Amino acid sequence: MKIRILIGLLLGLYSFLFLAEFSFAEYGDIILNSKAESMRKAGVNDVMFPHWFHRIRFKCKVCHEDIFILKAGANDINMSLIMNGEKCGKCHNGIIAWEPLYCERCHSWEPGWSPGVVQYSKKIAK
């Protein structure tokens, strides 16, 4: 029971951070912007994948290696795949997790960062 309350509080805090329009990265989160040039043309920010948040909810094997290859740059992730239920769309389908209709939830990171694992925390106001 206490773990459910704790998870609920963490989810609430996480939602608040998105609603407050701040981006946070924790050690181990991942900046995804291998398609940065086309993303800039489309006017969207980089993706900050909150690895820590997913990891507290799921074991590694849920995503690796069935959905994502455990090697930097080895996964071609794009919105077409996600909307067709592949990659992130396996869970972000409106049943397991929210649908990929809220762009700012993923595309929340200030452009210009190097792709890869975040080595330190940084707060950026939008």
pLDDT per residue as tens digits for the range 18-67:
544 445 566 678 888 777 677 777 788 888 888 888 988 889 999 998 89
- Residue 80 resides in a domain: yes
User: Does residue 9 have a pLDDT over 70?
Assistant: no
Per residue in 67-112, pLDDT (tens digit) is 999 887 888 898 999 999 999 999 999 999 999 998 888 888 877 7
> For residue 14, is it within any domain?
no
Question: In total, how many domains does the chain have?
Answer: 1
Q: Which domain holds residue 27?
A: 23-125
pLDDT reported for residue 90: 95
CATH number of the domain within which 53 lies: 3.90.10.10
3 lies in some domain: no
Asked if residue 119 is part of any domain, the answer here is: yes
Which is nearest to 78 in space by CA: 89, 93, 70?
89
